[in-house]
Structure 1
Amino acid sequence: MSAQLNHTIVWCRDKQTSANYLTDILGLPGPEPFGPMLVVKLDNGVSLDFYNNDPPIASQHYAFLLGDDEFDAAFARLQARKQPWWADPGKQRLDEINDYGGGRRVYFDDPDGHLLEIFTRE
């Protein structure tokens, strides 16, 4: 078997808030409890396991490849929250969509300051 990413732990202040935020934005089923964690399963078999930790929480980056329709829906949910988004990870291009490689991508912060990215082309 080749090496494959199976899961990663996402440190957060409130696992319920953070896991629900991600599932809401991406339109995924709700998180499932597993021991002290809440697990968000992605379509490719990888999971993000949300685990409470004391601040400060070190910011991480999580990127999600979506189909065009899924991107539109996720982006609409992001806009409905009136949350800032950027076209770049350095947060210099506010309220812009990056069209790199003929696709679309935006970056935004989750409740713990993790930089999330949704995009349509690799």
Structure 2
Amino acid sequence: MSIELNHTIVHVKDRWAAARDVGEVLGLPEAGAYGPFAELKLDNGASLDFMDTEGEIHGQHYAFLVSEEEFDLILGRLRDDGRQWWADPFKRQPQEINHGDGGRGLYWEGPDGHWLEILTRPYGSGS
């Protein structure tokens, strides 16, 4: 038996704006409607299902494993948009990338306080 993540719900103030924001940075196709969600499909078959939420939203962390080429494209989009990113989740290394496990990684603030990360090597994969 194989167990894989299929989808996760991302609580936001504006599902379409949030899905568009994340999708544009990651270079993904536009989100589609699926029930009350703006569904952003990822290449591995999983999806982020953005859902409008009233009241306080507690930011979550979403990490995306990307290729070296995709990393460069995403970093370029962050730069072109004038966004800030960090090498670490504590915001101690602004506009830098990290080299964990022999790859590259960075963090940026997404919609509604969600903390987004891209990395080219999974944690614990060695160098």
TM-score (norm 2): 0.92
Query: Which whole-Å deviations, capped at 9, do the CAs of 1:23-65 have from their partners, x for residues lacking one?
Result: 1011111001011110011111110000000132101000001
Secondary structure of residue in 1 paired with 2:23: helix
Q: Which runs of 5+ in 2 are unaligned?
A: 123-127
1:30 and 2:12 correspond: no
Superposed counterparts of 1:1-122, under 5 Å: 1-122=1-122
Could you tell me how far apart the structure 1 residues matched to 2:52 and 2:80 are? 27
Q: Distance in 1 between matches of 2:87 and 2:55?
A: 28
| Number of positions where the alignment pairs a residue of Structure 1 with one of Structure 2 | 122
SS at match of 1:11: strand
In the TM superposition, what is the alpha-carbon distance from 1:80 to its structure 2 partner? 1.0
SS in 2 for 1:112: helix
The 3-state SS of whatever aligns with 1:2 is: coil
Equivalent residue of 1:9, what SS? strand
Structure 1's unaligned 5+ residue stretches are none
CA distance in 2, matches of 1:44, 1:87: 25
Identical aligned residues as a percent: 48
Q: Please give the TM-score of this superposition, normalised by the length of structure 1.
A: 0.96
Q: CA deviation at 1:3?
A: 2.4
Per-residue CA deviation, residues 75-103 of structure 1 (Å, 9 max, x unaligned), is 10011111111111111111111011111
Root-mean-square deviation (CA), in Å? 0.9
Residue type of the alignment partner of 1:120: T
Question: Displacement, 1:2?
Answer: 2.8
